[in-house]
Structure 1
Amino acid sequence: MSLVELREVKGETGAVSGGAMDRVVVRKKIDKRILIGAGAGAVLLLLLLFWLFAPRSGSQTVNPSRLTIAEARQGTFEDFLPLRARVAPLVTVYLDAVEGGRVEQLAVEDGTTVVKGQLLAILSNADLQLSTLARQTEVEQQLNNMRSQELALQQTRSANRREMNQVQNDLSKAQRLYDLQRPLAEKGFVSAKTFNDTKDDLQMQRSRLAILKGSIAEDETLQANQLGQLRASAASMNQSLSIARGSLSQLSLRAPVSGQLSGFSIQLGQSLQQGERLGQIDSAGRNKLEADVDEFYLGRVVVGQTASIEVGGKTYGLKVAKIYPQVRNGQFRIDLVFEGPEPAQMQRGQTMSTKLTLGDSSRAVLIPNGAFFNDTGGNWIFVVDGNSAERRPVQLGRRNNDFIEVLDGLKPGERVITSTYSGLVDKDHLSFDTDE
Structure 2
Amino acid sequence: MDKIIEKKRFSKKKLLTLGAILAFVGLVAYGYSLSLNKIYKADADKLTVNKVIYGDFEDVVLINGSVVPLTSVIVSSPEGGTVAEIFTENGATIEKGTPLLRITNPNALSSYTSSETSITEQINQLRKLRLDLEQNQRVMSQDMMEIENSLRTATRKYRIDSTLYSKKVITQQEFNVSSQDYEYYQGRKKILKEAVRQENQSRVMQLQQIDFSIGRMNESLETIRQNIENMTIKAPVSGKLSSYDPVIGKSYGGNEMLGKIDVLQGYKLQASVDEYYVNRVKEGQSATCEFDGKTYSLIVRKVIPEITSGQFQVELIFNGKAPDELRRGLSLQLKLTLSDNSKSLLLAQGQFFQSTGGSWAFVVKHGKAAKRNIKIGRKNYQYYEVLEGLQKNEEVITSSYDQFNQYDIIELSK
For Structure 1 versus Structure 2, the TM-score category normalised by the shorter chain is 0.7 to 0.9
Q: Tell me the distance in 2 between the aligned counterparts of 1:273 and 1:329.
A: 30
Q: Which moved more, 1:207-216 or 1:336-345?
A: 207-216
Q: Tell me the distance in 2 between the aligned counterparts of 1:183 and 1:150.
A: 50
> What is the match of residue 40 of structure 2?
61
- Alpha carbons of 1:362 and 1:140: their partners in 2 closer, same or farther (altered >3 Å)? same
> What is the match of residue 236 of structure 2?
256
Deviation at 1:144, TM superposition (A): 1.1
Q: Tell me the distance in 2 between the aligned counterparts of 1:359 and 1:72.
A: 22
SS at match of 2:65: strand
Mark the structure with the bigger radius of gyration.
Answer: 1
SS at match of 1:55: helix
Deviations 1:157-216 (A, max 9, x none): 333344344445555666666666667767777766666666665555554444334433
TM-score, normalised relative to structure 2: 0.82
Q: Tell me the distance in 1 between the aligned counterparts of 2:20 and 2:139.
A: 138
Matched ranges for 1:61-100 at <5 A: 61-63=40-42, 65=44, 66-97=46-77, 98-100=79-81
Q: Which moved more, 1:316-325 or 1:63-72?
A: 63-72
- Alpha carbons of 1:416 and 1:160: their partners in 2 closer, same or farther (altered >3 Å)? farther
Deviation at 1:294, TM superposition (A): 0.5
Matched residue type, 1:374: Q
Matched ranges for 1:233-244 at <5 A: 233-244=213-224
Deviation at 1:320, TM superposition (A): 1.8
Matched residue type, 1:103: A
Matched residue type, 2:228: L
Matched ranges for 1:61-210 at <5 A: 61-63=40-42, 65=44, 66-97=46-77, 98-104=79-85, 106-123=86-103, 129=109, 131-168=111-148, 204-210=184-190
- Alpha carbons of 1:430 and 1:224: their partners in 2 closer, same or farther (altered >3 Å)? farther
Q: How many residues align?
A: 405
Contact in 2 for aligned 1:58/1:426 (Cα 8 Å): no
Deviations 1:58-82 (A, max 9, x none): 6443426144332222211111110
- Alpha carbons of 1:209 and 1:325: their partners in 2 closer, same or farther (altered >3 Å)? farther
Deviation at 1:231, TM superposition (A): 2.2
Deviation at 1:329, TM superposition (A): 1.0
Matched residue type, 2:321: P
> What is the match of residue 328 of structure 2?
348
- Alpha carbons of 1:72 and 1:205: their partners in 2 closer, same or farther (altered >3 Å)? farther
Deviation at 1:422, TM superposition (A): 2.8
Q: Tell me the distance in 2 between the aligned counterparts of 1:190 and 1:368.
A: 135
Q: Tell me the distance in 1 between the aligned counterparts of 2:235 and 2:120.
A: 31
SS at match of 2:268: strand
- Alpha carbons of 1:32 and 1:140: their partners in 2 closer, same or farther (altered >3 Å)? same
Matched residue type, 2:339: G
Contact in 2 for aligned 1:99/1:247 (Cα 8 Å): no
- Alpha carbons of 1:424 and 1:170: their partners in 2 closer, same or farther (altered >3 Å)? farther
Contact in 2 for aligned 1:174/1:205 (Cα 8 Å): yes
- Alpha carbons of 1:365 and 1:205: their partners in 2 closer, same or farther (altered >3 Å)? farther
Counting aligned pairs with the same residue, the percent is 33
Contact in 2 for aligned 1:101/1:251 (Cα 8 Å): no
Deviation at 1:360, TM superposition (A): 1.2
Q: Which moved more, 1:203-212 or 1:187-196?
A: 187-196
Deviation at 1:401, TM superposition (A): 0.5
Q: Tell me the distance in 2 between the aligned counterparts of 1:255 and 1:289.
A: 25
1:432 aligns with 2:405: no
Q: Tell me the distance in 2 between the aligned counterparts of 1:192 and 1:393.
A: 136
Deviation at 1:293, TM superposition (A): 0.7
> What is the match of residue 348 of structure 2?
368
Q: Tell me the distance in 2 between the aligned counterparts of 1:381 and 1:188.
A: 142
Deviation at 1:145, TM superposition (A): 1.2
> What is the match of residue 216 of structure 1?
196
Deviation at 1:353, TM superposition (A): 1.1
> What is the match of residue 410 of structure 1?
390
Q: Which moved more, 1:382-391 or 1:343-352?
A: 382-391
Contact in 1 for aligned 2:59/2:338 (Cα 8 Å): yes
> What is the match of residue 328 of structure 1?
308
SS at match of 2:279: coil
Q: Tell me the distance in 1 between the aligned counterparts of 2:328 and 2:339.
A: 29
> What is the match of residue 311 of structure 1?
291
Matched residue type, 2:27: L
Contact in 1 for aligned 2:360/2:371 (Cα 8 Å): yes
> What is the match of residue 273 of structure 2?
293
- Alpha carbons of 1:58 and 1:191: their partners in 2 closer, same or farther (altered >3 Å)? farther
SS at match of 2:281: coil
SS at match of 2:264: coil
Deviations 1:24-73 (A, max 9, x none): xxxx9997999888766644543333333442446443426144332222
* Unmatched tracts of structure 1, length 5 or more: 1-27
Deviation at 1:83, TM superposition (A): 0.8
Deviations 1:281-315 (A, max 9, x none): 22336322221110111111122222111112101
- Alpha carbons of 1:374 and 1:172: their partners in 2 closer, same or farther (altered >3 Å)? farther
Deviations 1:136-165 (A, max 9, x none): 333222211111011111222333344344
Q: Tell me the distance in 1 between the aligned counterparts of 2:310 and 2:266.
A: 30
